[in-house]
């Protein structure tokens, strides 16, 4: 029991720096860190196995699946990068993902700005229309999409994938960004209008800097599904020169035998953009997750 001023505070422990901490808080913190460390291990260990397996031989993969390789074997990376069209698949995936994300962000930001700032007849109906896009899986309409793209001569065209991914991403992005738009104080907008700013200037100078966490959250949320999608490229892409990374990785799986180091080398190369993108956007992503959690 510690005495602070004239008040006795029970069940407190003095730690370094003279701070007083409740033992229950310390136990909670320790348990939280333990859970986070366990979760980090669950996430990182498969990546570790993937990387070390890419440097093994096929025999080592079968005999020592979790062990370290006896020597560095780069034959898998040579096959992936030099003997196949994997770099072309890589370029296609990057182009489809980047263009889709840009369209999602631009369209969603403009729609959210209108829905979150202005009150007009049909506002809630239009907002519900976007939410309906989150509830109805787009794969239910794949037959109709196939007919539409054939009539527009977009079958076996990367533009077809871009349009599909953009349509898939807009509903969730509108849902996230609209909530952020509504949190921006109206006094800021009134001050900008008094200074003579029009709608575009208000959007670019005031809203966009404040919406960066929401935009980053939306971008990270959609990057992985678009980059890893196998279903739509399998249906709408036929030419080898237009295949994406998931389709390109599938060619390394044989019917009777699989060269596992080559497969894991392709997976290691394929996961690099996702890790880089997350590291770049993680700061804004965390701000987006915690926004509104603390008042004041």
Domain boundaries, the chain: 2-50, 80-290
Confidence band (pLDDT; 50, 70, 90) for 86?
confident
Distance CA 28, CA 17 (A): 20
- pLDDT at site 17: 52
- pLDDT at site 294: 40
pTM of the model: 0.80
When pLDDT is averaged across residues 20-32 and rounded to a whole number, the result is 78
- pLDDT at site 159: 93
When pLDDT is averaged across residues 147-160 and rounded to a whole number, the result is 91
Contact 165, 93 (CB under 8 A): no
When pLDDT is averaged across residues 220-230 and rounded to a whole number, the result is 91
**Per CATH, domain 80-290 is 3.40.50.300:** no
When pLDDT is averaged across residues 185-211 and rounded to a whole number, the result is 80
State pLDDT tens for residues 108-129.
Answer: 999 998 888 888 888 888 888 8
Confidence band (pLDDT; 50, 70, 90) for 288?
low
Confidence band (pLDDT; 50, 70, 90) for 2?
very low
For the cut 80, the answer to whether the pLDDT of residue 4 exceeds it is no
State pLDDT tens for residues 265-284.
Answer: 888 988 888 888 888 877 76
Secondary structure of 272-296 in the HEC alphabet? HHHHHHHHHHHHHHHHHHHCCCCCC
């Amino acid at each position: 029991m510690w005495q602070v001023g004239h008040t006795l505070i029970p069940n407190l422990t003095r730690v370094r720096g003279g701070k007083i901490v409740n033992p229950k808080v310390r136990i909670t913190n320790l348990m939280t860190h333990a859970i986070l460390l366990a979760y980090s291990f669950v996430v990182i260990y498969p990546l570790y196995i993937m990387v070390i397996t890419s440097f093994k031989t096929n025999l080592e993969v079968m005999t020592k699946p979790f062990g370290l390789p006896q020597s560095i074997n780069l034959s898998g990376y040579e096959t992936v990068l030099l003997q196949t069209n994997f770099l072309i698949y890589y370029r296609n995936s990057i182009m489809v993902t980047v263009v889709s994300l840009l369209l999602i962000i631009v369209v969603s930001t403009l729609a959210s700005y209108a829905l979150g700032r202005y009150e007009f007849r049909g506002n809630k109906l239009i907002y519900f229309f976007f939410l309906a896009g989150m509830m109805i899986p787009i794969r239910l309409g794949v037959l109709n999409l196939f007919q539409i793209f054939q009539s527009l001569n977009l079958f076996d065209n990367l533009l077809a994938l871009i349009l599909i991914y953009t349509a898939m991403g807009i509903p969730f992005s509108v849902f996230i960004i609209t909530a952020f738009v509504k949190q921006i104080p109206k006094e800021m907008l009134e001050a900008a209008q008094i200074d003579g700013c029009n709608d575009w200037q208000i959007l670019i100078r005031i809203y966009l800097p404040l919406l960066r966490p929401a935009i980053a959250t939306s971008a990270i949320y959609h990057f992985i599904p678009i980059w890893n999608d196998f279903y739509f490229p399998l249906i709408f892409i036929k030419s080898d020169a237009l295949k994406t990374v998931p389709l390109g990785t599938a060619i390394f799986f044989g019917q009777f035998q699989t060269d596992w180091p080559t497969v894991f080398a392709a997976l290691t190369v394929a996961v690099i953009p996702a890790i880089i993108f997350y590291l770049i956007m993680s700061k804004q992503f965390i701000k987006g997750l915690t926004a509104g959690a603390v008042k004041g």
